[in-house]
A = this chain, B = another copy of it.
């Protein structure tokens, strides 16, 4: 097959009414970034062709799908091109391996990649990410080391601690994990049971997991890889509970990799996805660490055991908010990959006749197939662009925050929480729709889509379970509604609660104005938020306590958060596509796409939209 392009694909591409290059540059953040994203892996592949045993072939099954490019403007991650080259070199996939073998293979690739990143002196985080994801296509055993572990040191450590520990992490002298969740405790942080008791005599903390349910459970890299954890535990000093703090806790011997005394640690077993990640459990039986091992940028424990609380602890949540941006954006990119696979497949797969005797047609010619794919293409764009818009909002607020002005933080927290839930759920539904749109072939791991699903769907649960995320966002939205009811000034993003009016001049039968679409979404969000608030107040009026009334209204509160995200997404998509300075043909197409996205959403939630008119 070599580099030849399937004629059905070539034909489909030739029918494009626009030049995808501009759009591709936009999506990847400019031509230079795109060039690097393409160059880096290609460079290393050439060098390593004989050294690495890589694959996970994503697409390209028995010649049904060929070649990678920018079809429909969505660049399929270059890893697939690599996969094809490696397949041609005869390398093997890890799909058939036992979990242990797959972990070992993944580890071998990851270690190699870590070495190369240092040798090549790749500094940019994003470039490191692109580079690594080619070599370790599934879960990377160091995933927590790269991000959560190093970020925790960076953001929660003192300058001295950063000086001491970060170089160890950068050079892999230690390998880390971040241990927060316990077997019995996930979303409710105050329920965490692991304790760190200060022993003033020896100036040490005693770490303890007193019950089965207090076992740390789920941290990636804990099962086999890590020899150090940044661990969250309830600080107890002078007999007083001083809340959750973070500690640097050595887990395994640096030479033998055996668990240190008092430590029981292992892998939690096979999962839906993330086969090559060694999520683990950890029990601590009165393990002692020096006082200096507490991360003391914010809170401190003095030698005599005095607890010094942070001046401002809300910045502690900044890294969490930042990581949610990663999840929000990656949801869109994952859906983009899945729908690219499914769209190409639909261009080359011929099945059934539309006109009897007319020959079998590309399945892309069926309206039902078009509906499945085009709505998901639109959804992928919407998520990617809304994630960018949210990040821009955050970045412009961040400089204010650094100067101590935290007024935007609750709004941004609500936005990221609700978008995390909205995007991951939409992604999950969308990826499965794309997989099924490939018929049986989508069910093969070789299509790449099953692994996209099983790996990424976990994001509906991790970093804040989605329903809980919606309720957190709803807390903010409900407060805004209360303020609106009183006529108070509202945060920027929720001002529509006071102003939203439905004044739409067109109906679906006519050509719909994009501003009307935004207004309709805004009005729907305002209505749902106000209904949730009314139900909460009705609960209170029935004599329920605040918390019981909250539970009583929770189903509507979740809906309110999702309607808020949906409005933000529709608005971001339309406004950014309109203002990005594309050439005419590209802009026309993108606005059609935005309209498709918005109208499809209206159909899916037509009950709401009919209700509001």
Show the binding face of A for B, using Cβ within 8 Å: 62-63, 93, 95-101, 181, 183-188, 191, 212, 217-218, 268-273, 350-356, 360, 365-369, 371-372, 428, 432, 435-436, 439-440, 442-446, 450, 453-454, 457-458, 460-462, 465-468, 471, 545, 547-548, 550-552, 554-555, 558, 603, 605-611
Contact = CB atoms under 8 A, between A and B. Distances in A.
A46 to B, nearest CB: 28
A520 to B, nearest CB: 14
Contacts of A350: 184
A352 B187 contact: yes
A609 B353 CA distance: 34
Given A352-B191, A444-B268, A461-B442, A555 B371 contact: yes
Contact of A551 (B184, B366, B465): B366
7 contacts: A95-B269, A217-B440, A272-B445, A352-B468, A354-B551, A355-B545, A440-B462
A341 B558 CA distance: 24
Contacts of A185: 351
B461 A436 contact: yes
B445 A188 contact: no
Given A353-B547, A355-B547, 7 more contacts: A95-B99, A96-B98, A96-B100, A271-B450, A272-B453, A369-B467, A606-B606
Contacts of A181: 440
Task: Give how many copies assemble into the complex.
Answer: 2
Contacts of A442: 461
Contacts of A432: 428, 457
A367 B96 contact: no
Nearest to A351: B188
Given A96-B270, A360-B188, A606-B606, A461 B445 contact: no
Nearest to A102: B98
Given A444-B271, A547-B354, A555 B367 contact: yes
Contacts of A187: 351-352, 439
Nearest to A96: B99
A185 B369 CA distance: 17
A552 B371 CA distance: 12
A350 B428 CA distance: 27
Given A212-B63, A450-B271, A353 B445 contact: no
A503 B551 CA distance: 36
A367 B98 contact: no
A594 to B, nearest CB: 20
A7 to B, nearest CB: 15
A215 to B, nearest CB: 9
B352 A445 contact: no
A371 B554 CA distance: 10
